[in-house]
Amino acid sequence: MIRYNFGIRFETSLTAYKKLSDSSYTVLRNANISLPALHHQREPLLQHALGAISFGAAVPKGLSADTPLLHVSMPILSGDMACELWLGNAATATEQHGNIRYRRNEDLLLGIIELHEDATATTSLQQATESAYRQIFALLDKLGFPSVYRFWNYMADINAVSNGLERYRQFNLGRQDAFLACGRDVAGELPSACALGLAEGPLQVAFLAGRIPAQAIENPRQVNAYAYPEDYGPRSPTFSRASLLQLPAGEVLFISGTASIVGHRTLHPHDVSGQTRETLANIEAVILEANRVTDHRRFDPAQLFYRVYVRHAADMPVIRDELCRLTGKHANAVFLHADICREDLLLEIEATAFSCALTSMDGQ
C-alpha cells in the first residue's frame, strides 16, 4: 500500500505526484509506503526522494543505496506503511558532512545522523546529542539552509537514569547547549520534533530543513515546551508543537509528538483511554490553531497521516479505536512500540498534514 499524502485525499497513483513535482514550484510531499510496495517502485518516484525514515524489523529494499535512510528498529504493532518517503523536486546526489548523510535540492534538505554513545562516559547521551546537533547546525549554516522544519529523535533507554539524570533530560541538555552554541533561539520560533526511546542502538536524528522560514504553532492548552518548569529537567525541550511551512504548491503542517499533557502536567496516569482522548484533544487544538493562523486553509483531522508511539503493546487496540473515532472510520496510521519521554506517558502521536493549493491537479 502506498499513500501519497496530498491533503485533499490520499493518492494511490504516481500521476498526481508527478504532475506536481514537474512544476516549477517548490514541492514537498510525503508518501507512506509499505515495504513490498517500495520494493516494486521504479525510478521516477525515487529520484524525487530527499530521504526516508523507516521502522520495524526489516530494513527497506528498493530505495537506491544513495538515498539517506534513517532506519529505526522500533517494532511495528499495526499498519503496513513502515517507510516514510520525503519527496521534493529533483534532488542532488547524496552528500556527506561529518556523520551526516543528506540530500537536497534548491530549497529543501533532508539529513540523517547516527551517533554511537561513548560507553565510558556517564553523560554519553548528552555528549552524543550535543555533537549531532552541532554538526547539523554547522552543515545548515555552511549550505545556507537556515530553517529546520522538523527533527525526529530516537535514542536507546530514554527513561533510564545515568549520572543522576534521566537520559531524556540529558538529551535536552545536549540539544539546548548545541542550539545556544550555534547561535540559535531556544524559545519562540522553534522546529517541530519528536523524541522517543527504543531498546538499543545509537542516537538517531533525522531533520528536514530549508531556505525559507516556517512558522511555529503552539497549543493554547499546553505550556510551550521551551517554557516547561525545571521539574521536568534542568533544560527545557527545544521544540514547538507544530511548524507550518507555506510553499506555493500548498502548506505542510508538521505536528510534533503530542501527548496527554495539559499545561505542563501529565493527565490520566495509568488510563490509556483518557490519555488517548487528551492527546487527540491536543492535536485538534494544534490543528485549530494552524487553521486560525492560515485563515483561509483548512487542515482536517480526517486527512492527516498519523504515527502513534505506544508504550505497552497491549494498549494498541484501545488507542486505535479512539483515533478512529476522531478520524471518522479508518485512520491513516502506523502504530509503533516505543518508550515515551516521560515515565507516566503511555502514548505519543505525531502527524503530518498538507493543504494543497494546486487543487486543479487533483482528480486529473
Does residue 115 belong to the site contacting ligand 3EB (CB under 6 A)?
A: no
Does residue 332 belong to the site contacting ligand 3EB (CB under 6 A)?
A: no
Does residue 193 belong to the site contacting ligand 3EB (CB under 6 A)?
A: yes
Does residue 233 belong to the site contacting ligand 3EB (CB under 6 A)?
A: no
Catalytic residue among 84, 166, 348, 350: 348
Told to judge if 322 belongs to the known catalytic residues of this protein, a careful annotator would answer no
Does residue 208 belong to the site contacting ligand 3EB (CB under 6 A)?
A: no
Does residue 205 belong to the site contacting ligand 3EB (CB under 6 A)?
A: no
Does residue 341 belong to the site contacting ligand 3EB (CB under 6 A)?
A: yes
Which range of residues in 2-10, 154-162, 252-260, 324-332 is near ligand 3EB by CB under 6 A? 252-260
Instruction: Compute how many residues bind ligand 3EB; rule: CB under 6 A.
Output: 12
Among 7, 174, 197, 257, contact with ligand 3EB (rule: CB under 6 A)? 257
Among 69, 190, 194, 353, contact with ligand 3EB (rule: CB under 6 A)? 194
Does residue 256 belong to the site contacting ligand 3EB (CB under 6 A)?
A: yes
Does residue 195 belong to the site contacting ligand 3EB (CB under 6 A)?
A: yes
Among 261, 308, 323, 351, contact with ligand 3EB (rule: CB under 6 A)? 261
Which range of residues in 115-123, 177-185, 192-200, 324-332 is near ligand 3EB by CB under 6 A? 192-200
- Which residue's CB is nearer to ligand 3EB, number 17 or number 151? 151
Q: What letter represents residue 325's amino acid?
A: R
Catalytic residues: 348
Instruction: List residues binding ligand 3EB (CB under 6 A).
Output: 153, 193-195, 225, 237, 239, 256-257, 259, 261, 341
